[in-house]
Amino acid sequence: MNKCYEIVFIVRQDATSNLVESIAASVSKVVKDSGGDITKTEFCGLRAFAYPIKKSKKGHYVLLNAICDGEVIFELDRQLRINEDVVRHLSVRVEALDSNPSALMQSRHYRESFDDDDVPSDNVPEVVAE
């Protein structure tokens, strides 16, 4: 029985975009070869970590929405674990897949949609003088 999964993985910061895309393609191939389907692929770009991971401060984030069997997730976990270019990965089962952009992409588009002069007043930090 096929279930819905969100698969997120982070590729090391010095990787090229071609390498990131090839890792995403290999994950997609594993899912599709098992009879599953990838409904969305998001390349969220190079983002800073909250803390250093394996001496890196940034990484390329990729999000995939998949409909597949649970056994496929075990195989993906195994392949992503042995891939030296993947810093971290996480697969989460969800009730339904969201076709809208992820929170990472929404925040990026939100920030890029405003110029410095167009920042909404509710996001301006309040300065308190003592």
CA distance 92 to 52: 23
Classify domain 3-115 by CATH number: 3.30.70.60
CB 7 within 8 A of CB 64: yes
Model pTM score:
0.76
pLDDT of 124: 47
pLDDT of 65: 92
What type of residue sits at position 114? F
pLDDT digits (tens, 9 = 90+) for 58-86: 999 999 999 999 899 999 999 999 999 99
Tokens representing 32 are: 């599709």
DSSP bridge partners of 59: 12, 47
pLDDT digits (tens, 9 = 90+) for 97-116: 777 777 777 665 555 555 44
CA distance 98 to 8: 14
pLDDT of 29: 95
